[in-house]
Amino acid sequence: MWILIALIGYALFAVVFILDKRILTNEKQSPIVYTFYSTVFLLLVGLAWFFIPFSFDPKFWLVSLISGFTFIVGLYTMFVAVSKSEASHIDPFIGAMITVTTFFLARFFLNEALTIRQMAGIGLLIVASVFLSFKKTPQNKTHWRWYAIGIVAGIFFGISNVSAKYLYDTFSFIPGLIGSRFAAGLGGLVLLLLPSVWKTFLPSAKKSAKVSTTKQPLGLVALDKVCGLIAILLLQWATALGSVTAVNALAGWQYALMFVIILVLSHRRSNFLREYLTKREIIVETAALVLVIIGLVLII
């Protein structure tokens, strides 16, 4: 069951990452500001504690803060990389780094055991993610700087995922979910101390934002956030039910969907999203799709 839940969550995330790319690129949105608005509303999950008992255990709060704040760092560095690169390439690379980080941390801190077949499937999904990240610009240059930032994002996301899994296993799913997401909301609130964030609340910034919304439909941003929220809930649920390493490895499914969607949009709706894809890239990424399918079969 957890595999199906994860696949649905990643399908939604495929849509989210494409919308993020359009919003960040077309509107010249600051990654740190976008991170703030993507996380601060998670503070609202704290209202659930009026109805659901929660733990006063210091360990619960410490691990929740680790999960939440590392999620913030991962999200920000991912947005930086996405805003400067192509979503269909940098996101799979980040996903591969998340899976590698999660694998080692889960083995060390959670004593997570996987079958040889599952490990083979995870390995294929990691290789597929790296293949899907293959990119050459029209000038035949690879932007390795953004991949370095992607490594940082992957490491912090991996830490966040493993600490969340610890919460689910130790304190049960609902309290762990509320604690880790509330902590992420606190991290978003801390970003309000940065001038680049609080200045967006000034009258001049609000006036500029009104001009921006005439170019970028508000419904598109709302769709992005709703899909993102549902995807996060589904993936966290899948993580609580199954292997945190396997759930992260299933992101290869998301990147395969992203490649197909972007390929279609680049040819049919280039005004919505356009990415440079050479014939060589299409061949390499098609091979990666085959690896994704084989990897999924092995994990299932």
> Residue 87 pLDDT > 70, yes or no?
no
> Residue 300 pLDDT > 70, yes or no?
no
Among left, alpha and beta (phi > 0; psi -120 to 50; other), residue 113 is beta
Report pLDDT for 140: 44
Tell which residue, 273, 271, 250, 254, has the closest CA to residue 124: 250
What pLDDT digit, counting tens, does each position of 160-171 carry?
Answer: 999 999 999 999
Report pLDDT for 207: 52
Tell which residue, 146, 192, 185, 205, has the closest CA to residue 44: 185
Pick from 52-56, 69-73, 105-109: least confident: 52-56
Report pLDDT for 236: 93
Band of residue 76 on the pLDDT scale cut at 50, 70, 90: very high
Q: What gap in Å lies between CA 50 and CA 31, rounded to an integer? A: 33
Q: What gap in Å lies between CA 292 and CA 256, rounded to an integer? A: 7
> Residue 214 pLDDT > 50, yes or no?
no
Report pLDDT for 241: 93
Average pLDDT of the residues in 31-45: 88
Contacts of 227 (CB under 8 A, 6+ apart): 12, 13, 15, 16, 19
What pLDDT digit, counting tens, does each position of 274-294 carry?
Answer: 566 677 777 877 887 788 878
Report the predicted TM-score, pTM, of the whole model to 2 decimal places: 0.82
Report pLDDT for 213: 44
Q: What share of the chain is helix, strand, coil (3-state, %, to 5)?
A: 85, 0, 15
Report pLDDT for 136: 56
> Residue 180 pLDDT > 80, yes or no?
yes
The count of other CB atoms within 10 Å of the CB of residue 38 is 21
**CB-count burial class (<10 Å; 0-12, 13-18, 19+) for 158:** buried
Exposure string of 249-279, with b = 16+ CB inside 10 Å and e = fewer, is bbbbbbbbbbbebbbebbeeeeeebebebee
Domain range summary for the chain, segments of one domain joined by +: 2-299
The larger pLDDT score, comparing residue 288 to residue 25, is at 288
Report pLDDT for 5: 95
Contacts of 181 (CB under 8 A, 6+ apart): 42, 45, 68, 232
DSSP-derived secondary structure letter, 194 = S
Mean pLDDT of the chain, nearest integer: 82
